[in-house]
């Protein structure tokens, strides 16, 4: 596994060096957008719609839209200052609670916690203390400049940290439209529903569940590969080819206007002892008679 983050767990006066590893992975199959005609991947340019020009990374700044169409600009220096003030490499456990006290709607993402250098014994101590007490730790941590709440618990003999949402990040269920209030139900209807639940009740074995859509998509892709249905995108024209065509076209236009004569040769350097003009004429005449 790749170490994502190094720091420590802190509760009371106890400090445990740890390493952070992603506990889950995205298994979604990533599909590219291609040009239908030539199967070339589509490129998305960073372009300013106002200036109608492509933007380089150094010309991009961060901004927050506080009302529609109005932004405040945040400089790199301002963001860096805030980051340094709140950047901490500590999983700071501030409370211990029961896991069942937290509704799953708060859960976000899971990470494995491994012991850092010389942290094995303290790591094992926290693990056993959590197991024995039946509690989990409520902690705060900063990952990639974002402060988050988290819980620390035990999973298969390993400490796990799960980031959870702050209360103001969870929307109110009362805002969901058309949710019915109290409804009068017949006893027979409720009994039948409970009977069905009882019949489908079992122990949770996660290995029995699978993503059927992803497996079907993988099979479809593999079949196309095995039947040589792959497409190689056409190469984009190189810039020097475009320049060459422009030069050739310009040459043709010059030919049409009669200005395509080859450039005159550079004059020969003057001799140290120039031949008198009369003798040059005589030499040319002699050469002409010889040719005749």
pTM of whole model > 0.75? no
For residue 152, give the nearest of 166, 135, 170, 169 by alpha carbon.
Answer: 135
Domain assignment present for residue 18? The answer is: yes
Domain assignment present for residue 158? The answer is: yes
13 vs 222, higher pLDDT = 222
Distance between the two ends of the chain, CA-based, in angstroms? Answer: 92
The mean predicted confidence, pLDDT, of the chain is 80
- The pLDDT value recorded for residue 82 is 76
- The pLDDT value recorded for residue 113 is 93
Q: 157's torsion region: left (phi>0), alpha (psi -120 to 50) or beta?
A: left
Q: Which regions of the chain does DSSP assign to beta strands (E)?
A: 5-11, 14-22, 47-48, 53-54, 62-67, 70-74, 90-97, 107-115, 136-143, 146-155, 158-164
Domain assignment present for residue 114? The answer is: yes
Task: List, in order, residues 6 or more apart from 243 with CB less than 8 Å away.
Answer: none
Which range marks the domain in which residue 144 is found?
A: 5-25+88-168
Coil/strand/helix, residue 149: strand
Query: Which CATH number does the domain housing residue 10 bear?
Result: 2.40.290.10
- The pLDDT value recorded for residue 99 is 94
User: pLDDT by residue (tens digit) across 57-104?
Assistant: 888 988 988 888 888 888 888 888 777 666 667 888 999 999 999 999
Domain assignment present for residue 136? The answer is: yes
- The pLDDT value recorded for residue 197 is 93
User: For residue 9, what is the enclosing H or E element?
Assistant: strand 5-11
User: pLDDT by residue (tens digit) across 138-179?
Assistant: 999 887 777 889 999 999 999 999 999 999 999 999 998 998
The region of weakest confidence among 47-51, 204-208, 256-260 is 256-260
pLDDT level of residue 256 (50, 70, 90 thresholds): low
Domain assignment present for residue 144? The answer is: yes
As a whole number, mean pLDDT of residues 127-131 equals 94
- The pLDDT value recorded for residue 258 is 58
For residue 151, give the nearest of 97, 115, 88 by alpha carbon.
Answer: 97
Domain assignment present for residue 60? The answer is: no
pLDDT level of residue 54 (50, 70, 90 thresholds): confident
Count of domains for the chain: 1
Domain assignment present for residue 44? The answer is: no
Angle at 75 between CA 73 and CA 78, to 5 degrees: 115
229 vs 121, higher pLDDT = 121
For residue 234, give the nearest of 34, 30, 32, 33 by alpha carbon.
Answer: 34
Domain assignment present for residue 201? The answer is: no
22 pLDDT higher than 60: yes
d(CA 76, CA 64): 13
- The pLDDT value recorded for residue 184 is 92
d(CA 155, CA 157): 6
């Amino acid at each position: 596994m790749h170490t994502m983050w190094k720091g420590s767990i802190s509760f009371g006066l106890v400090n445990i060096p740890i390493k952070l590893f992603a506990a889950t992975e995205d298994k979604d199959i990533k599909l590219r957008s291609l040009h239908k005609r030539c199967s070339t991947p589509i490129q998305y340019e960073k372009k300013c719609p106002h200036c109608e020009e492509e933007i380089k990374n150094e010309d991009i700044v961060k901004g927050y839209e506080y009302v529609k169409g109005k932004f405040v600009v945040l400089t790199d220096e301002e963001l860096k200052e805030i980051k340094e003030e709140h950047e901490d490499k500590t999983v700071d456990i501030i409370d211990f609670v029961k896991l069942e006290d937290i509704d799953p709607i708060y859960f976000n993402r899971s990470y494995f916690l491994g012991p850092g250098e010389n942290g094995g014994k303290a790591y094992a101590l926290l693990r056993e203390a959590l197991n024995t007490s039946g509690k989990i730790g409520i902690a705060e941590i900063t990952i990639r400049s974002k402060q988050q709440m988290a819980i620390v618990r035990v999973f298969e003999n390993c400490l796990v940290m799960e980031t959870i949402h702050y209360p103001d990040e969870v929307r109110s269920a009362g805002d969901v439209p058309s949710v019915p209030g109290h409804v009068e139900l017949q006893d027979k209807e409720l009994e039948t529903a409970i009977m069905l639940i009882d019949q489908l009740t079992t122990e949770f074995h996660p290995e029995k569940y699978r993503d059927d859509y992803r497996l079907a998509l993988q099979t479809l892709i593999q079949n196309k590969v095995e039947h040589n249905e792959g497409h190689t995108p056409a190469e984009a024209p190189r810039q020097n080819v475009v320049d060459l065509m422009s030069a050739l076209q310009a040459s043709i236009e010059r030919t049409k206007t009669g200005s395509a004569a080859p450039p005159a040769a550079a004059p020969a350097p003057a001799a140290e002892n120039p031949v008198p003009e009369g003798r040059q004429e005589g030499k040319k005449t002699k050469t002409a008679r010889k040719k005749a």
